[in-house]
Amino acid sequence: MHLSKKCSVFKVVLSALLIVALLQLIYLSFLSKFHGKQQRYRYSELFGGSGVKKNAHPDKNTRKERLRYSLSTGGIFDSSGQYRIYKNLIKSDVTANQKPGSDPSSGVLTLATHTTINNLHHLESLLDRWQNPLSVAIFAHGQDVKFATALVYALSFFCPQIQALVDFHLVCLSGEMASFPEQDREHFAGLEDCASVFSRLETHRDKYKNYAISGNISYPNNLLRNVARGGAESSYILVIDIDMMPSADLHQQFLALIMKREPGTDEVFVLPAFEIRHARKLPGTKAELVQLYQVGEVRPFYEELCSRCQAPTNYSQWVNSHVRGATALEVAYTLTWVDPWEPFYIGPRTVPLYDENFKQYGFNRISQACELHVAGYKFSVLSSAFVVHRGFKIQGEFHPRKDEENKRNRVLFRNFKEGLKTKYPSSTRRC
């Protein structure tokens, strides 16, 4: 009798466990079906089809049609015929809807940058700091053309701040073409919000070392800079690499500075460039930066690789210069360009373009700074604005062909300087 009761209790417990297990299986099955249905709806919302509700948001349909149209043009070739350019692959709301008489501050200064897909994850923190119009030129090759098109569209779809402020341009080899990514479901699995898109981009983070693209492909940095600049519709443009960060509130401070000055077309505004240890939080103000500078956590950009390339900025003068007022941005001092200075600067949209013959490593920015000098520009250093590169640049971190590329571009630079004598025959300046 006692044994019979034990068996009965055991059967009850076992039955209860089986029921619980069954309910868990049903729940997991429900979750799986719900998630699959949600993903199908997300996908159909992205690309149209039977899953889209009749009252789908018109802005998102418009964005989709803009992308279709941009891709249908087939892009345009660059002057060398080696690259295909999809200008304004994705247009921001501020650019697409800009009308005469709209907010004048949005048309004063745009940040222009360039990258491959493996560094696009930096866009999140860059935009969080900048919070104003941004023009991004992306270079993609091979399978990354499809991936870049898909992920850029997803960013513009899921991220409200990107929708509002960022214009994307795509550059690939002339023999490659971008296509509308509606068949590329694998690229969109798991994407349901802005954070998930940036998480996907993180999986491609640092896929290549600097300029070491698979297939021995040259990174056309100056072409990309020009494409990003050309996509900006503002009076002034700041061109930086995507792994650099400007000081906080730069847009508003520069707007206030320009409003107080006589407009001029022969002046660029230099932002002293620094680099910071990877582990450190990026400074937002000059006071924060100087504090880190004084303890060696921040140093002049390229100090180890080419200290002469930034030394003319005169870091000691800038660090020790005082600013009148708590937030006012001013011109601290004005410099004449000297070789081999390659400053980062805010310039009017009329400044000479970058020479697109320079690719990969070496002389790509200094050639343009040299031309500014010959063309008669003056270099005014801003009192409290700056840019910071994430991480120290050190010897040994570059790709194996860096020295070979530098040697090739050095020859190009000599020829480039000779060409400036013909381009600016009345100038007495040389570089």
pLDDT in tens, 312-353: 999 999 999 875 445 689 999 999 999 999 999 999 999 999
For position 278, what pLDDT does the model report? 81
Question: Average pLDDT, stretch 17-42?
Answer: 55
For position 7, what pLDDT does the model report? 59
* Among the listed residues 32, 49, 28, the one whose alpha carbon sits nearest the alpha carbon of residue 185: 49
Helix, coil or strand: residue 52: coil
Between 352 and 396, the more confident residue is 352
Whole-model pTM: value is 0.85
d(CA 267, CA 67): 37
Asked if pLDDT for residue 35 goes beyond 60, the answer is no
Q: How wide is the angle at C-alpha 281 spanned by C-alphas 245 and 395, nearest 5°?
A: 70
Asked if pLDDT for residue 44 goes beyond 80, the answer is no
Asked if pLDDT for residue 41 goes beyond 60, the answer is no
For position 107, what pLDDT does the model report? 83
pLDDT digits (tens, 9 = 90+) for 361-388: 878 899 999 999 999 999 999 999 999 9
Between 216 and 371, the more confident residue is 371
For position 363, what pLDDT does the model report? 84
Q: Enter the tokens of residue 318.
A: 């800038």
Asked if pLDDT for residue 6 goes beyond 60, the answer is no
Q: Enter the tokens of residue 369.
A: 């700074």
Question: Average pLDDT, stretch 4-18?
Answer: 62
Which residue, chain included where needed, has tokens 């990026």? Answer: 282
Asked if pLDDT for residue 64 goes beyond 60, the answer is yes
Q: How wide is the angle at C-alpha 138 spanned by C-alphas 111 and 395, nearest 5°?
A: 85
Q: Is the dihedral of CA 76, 80, 81, 86 positive or negative?
A: negative
**Could you tell me if 84 and 169 are in contact, meaning their C-beta atoms sit under 8 angstroms apart?**
no
% of residues, the chain, pLDDT over 70: 77
d(CA 352, CA 349): 9
For position 324, what pLDDT does the model report? 47
Strand order in the sheet with 83-90: 76-77, 83-90, 166-173, 134-139, 109-116, 236-239, 344-348, 267-271, 378-382, 331-335
pLDDT digits (tens, 9 = 90+) for 172-184: 999 999 988 776 6
pLDDT digits (tens, 9 = 90+) for 220-233: 999 999 999 999 99
DSSP H helices, 48-142, are 58-72, 93-96, 123-130
Between 28 and 77, the more confident residue is 77
Banded pLDDT at 406 (limits 50, 70, 90): confident
Question: Average pLDDT, stretch 13-32?
Answer: 62
Question: Average pLDDT, stretch 181-188?
Answer: 70
Banded pLDDT at 212 (limits 50, 70, 90): low
For position 30, what pLDDT does the model report? 52
Strand pairing category for 109-116 and 134-139: parallel
